[in-house]
Chain A
């Protein structure tokens, strides 16, 4: 046998072992089907994101406060102007509502911005020749649309062909919204869920290989003899969480400082984004849910990773872990897109999607008590996951326990 043939044969021998060692594992099946699962879950996530934004858009309104006599002509012109936009076009103006003027139209217009049933984007009141237009900073376009509506309505009423000077001279005023808008809340919900998912995806997955160090250098035997395995698991999780917090603190500081130099126009685009629960509570809850999400998912990955016998198995676990995280994100964002539905409730109750879903809940609802309940619930599941993980480790890796496996023995001391 010449050297080349020997080299090929040796190479194939190594390749054969690696191929078989990789393929004949349960995790390979998940790896194999990963693209289908990933696409499905991405669609769920994408649909959730779109729903979160779309749900808010359906609630948006442009309001004209005008006498009943002008209603027909306003509606007619609005219909003509809307024909310029394709149905479903993202730039299409919100639906028009015409209100009859009350004693103080200015106060009536301002009050509309605190309405709870709709998101009022812009309001026009006063005579069409000199209308007053109020708009939220993000709805500059809505204000312009109402100005054009007034101009075209006047032209239609006067049937003035050949008029070249503007008939309407609007006065536009940007107004701060009295409370968060549906759209803003939907966006906060989505960005909150996505932010939490993104951080957990980046950071919690690292816990999968943390027990590998102790297993490979045999320190686990010393740890297991000195402290309960539950403490080992929790200690590793808390240690890794400390690393994650440091990471988040670094980037949060950097981003907050970057925001100071963001152009005003760019900042205005996010001015509507205000969580229902309020600003001081939301960041606190975000951190609390980040901690819970990290701990819950980290505990699962740590437990699963601690069962892996080799570095190869740990690498193979990376994909199922990502899939699991994307699944939780898809579930939670679908819940955040439709608050109050059974999907939202299920996502809030299911322990591993609960932190993600609850940060969406905080954006959509001002109640504080559900968060206290949720945090206790999630903490309970962190404890359960760690306990089960530690017992599986004791049984499977430290070889403790009776030969016959059962759930009863798993939970028995």
Chain B
């Protein structure tokens, strides 16, 4: 655990009754990055984040938040958007943001001023003095996110930030997260939607069944799977299937298969020599989604969802 890490934890364990919800999680989030915690529903992501923030205490293991072993001591430098969104319905949007800032040590007056600026920048200038109950769900969610960044935290923890947002607001949120990273903040967020993680994360952990199954960059995760080829012969005919790798699957007039470890060039030469020719060929890099499914595995998925 070094000071270059915004968040670190080792061997975190949490039991709910007899169930081991988090089972020895290790995590290391470097400063200034967007770090994703990915996992299926019930994987233990939220519990892990809550333990890291000190909302609940781990049964075993150590954690460090912004260089402090007691997470609450770093509270003023942390912003948090919980999975279950919560705002006082009778509060005005500006007040709600200022209130969340005040909880983290920001003076009310400054909080109100920054709240108006942040809302204006997020395209919510018209809603500054509207009560929360008058806002749409997406707007309220953005207000809550602004409340978690109003005090310019060093670390921003977002639990499933995209859930319940329409595509327009999802894009707004993505921009906001990137803007926070660009100003030097560290962002730790959980999601089970791979597309966001793929676009945003500098590094990520994949958790399933309470354990970390993978830690690294998006590219490293995707690199765990071989490339896939999509081949359309010029002159299909008998004997083609025998030349293709064993996992080749027919899809209309085309074939999909894993690129052999030695490369695709040898295979292509054989196909041309056999007279099948090449009408179309594309090499596909597997997405994070595929990597996630591969890493988590069907068994873990079933276990987590049970």
Contacts and interface: CB of A to CB of B under 8 A. Distances in A.
Interface stretch (A189-197, A245-253, A398-406): A398-406
A399 B16 contact: yes
Contacts of A394: 56-57
B88 A217 contact: yes
Contact of B56 (A217, A218, A228, A398): A398
Interface string B25-65: 00000000000000000000000001001111101000000
B75 A399 contact: no
Chain B, interface residues (CB within 8 Å), range: 20 to 34
A228 B70 CA distance: 12
Nearest to A218: B86
Nearest to A222: B86
Given A222-B100, A226-B75, A400 B86 contact: no
A223 B148 CA distance: 12
Nearest to A231: B103
Contacts of B55: 221, 224-225, 398, 400
B82 interface: yes
B57 A403 contact: no
A222 B53 CA distance: 11
B225 to A, nearest CB: 36
Contacts of A259: none
B84 interface: yes
Contacts of B87: 217, 219
A300 to B, nearest CB: 24
Contacts of A224: 55
Contacts of A222: 80, 82, 86, 100, 103, 147
B82 A225 contact: yes
B89 A217 contact: yes
B72 interface: yes
Contacts of A225: 50, 53-55, 75, 78, 80, 82
Contact of A403 (B15, B103, B147): B15
A402 B15 contact: yes
Contacts of B84: 218, 221
A219 B17 CA distance: 25
A42 B72 CA distance: 47
Classify the secondary structure of B's interface with A: loop
Nearest to B132: A217
A227 B15 contact: no
A221 B157 CA distance: 13
Interface in B71-121: 72, 75, 78, 80, 82, 84-89, 100, 103-104
B59 A221 contact: no
Contacts of B59: 401-402
Nearest to A213: B88
B88 A401 contact: no
B18 interface: yes
B141 to A, nearest CB: 12
A227 B86 contact: no
Given A219-B88, A226-B100, A400 B56 contact: yes
Interface string B126-149: 000000000000000000000100
Nearest to B19: A403
A63 to B, nearest CB: 66
Interface centre among B18, B72, B147 (most CB of A within 10 A): B72
A403 B103 CA distance: 31
A394 to B, nearest CB: 7
A177 B16 CA distance: 69
A281 B88 CA distance: 42
B57 A221 contact: no
A401 B50 CA distance: 13
Contacts of A214: 86
A343 interface: no
A401 B58 CA distance: 7
Contacts of B57: 394, 400-401
A410 interface: no
A218 B18 CA distance: 26
A288 interface: no
Interface in A227-286: 227-228
Interface in A324-369: none
A96 interface: no
B56 A221 contact: no
A226 B72 CA distance: 7
Interface string A383-413: 0000000000010001111110000000000
Contacts of B89: 217
A227 B80 CA distance: 12
Contact of B86 (A219, A228, A398, A401): A219
A12 B57 CA distance: 44
Interface string A78-94: 00000000000000000
Interface in B184-243: none
B80 to A, nearest CB: 4
A108 B56 CA distance: 75
Nearest to A401: B57
Contact of A218 (B15, B54, B82): B82
Interface string A168-186: 0000000000000000000
A321 interface: no
A226 B103 contact: yes
Nearest to A394: B56
A402 B57 CA distance: 9
12 contacts: A217-B86, A218-B86, A222-B86, A223-B103, A225-B50, A225-B78, A394-B57, A398-B50, A400-B57, A401-B56, A403-B16, A403-B18
Interface of B: 15-18, 50, 53-57, 59, 72, 75, 78, 80, 82, 84-89, 100, 103-104, 147
Given A219-B87, A222-B147, A225-B53, 10 more contacts: A217-B86, A217-B88, A220-B86, A222-B103, A226-B100, A226-B103, A227-B103, A398-B50, A401-B56, A401-B59
- 3 tightest A-B contacts by CB? A218-B86, A400-B56, A226-B103
Interface of A: 213-214, 217-228, 394, 398-403
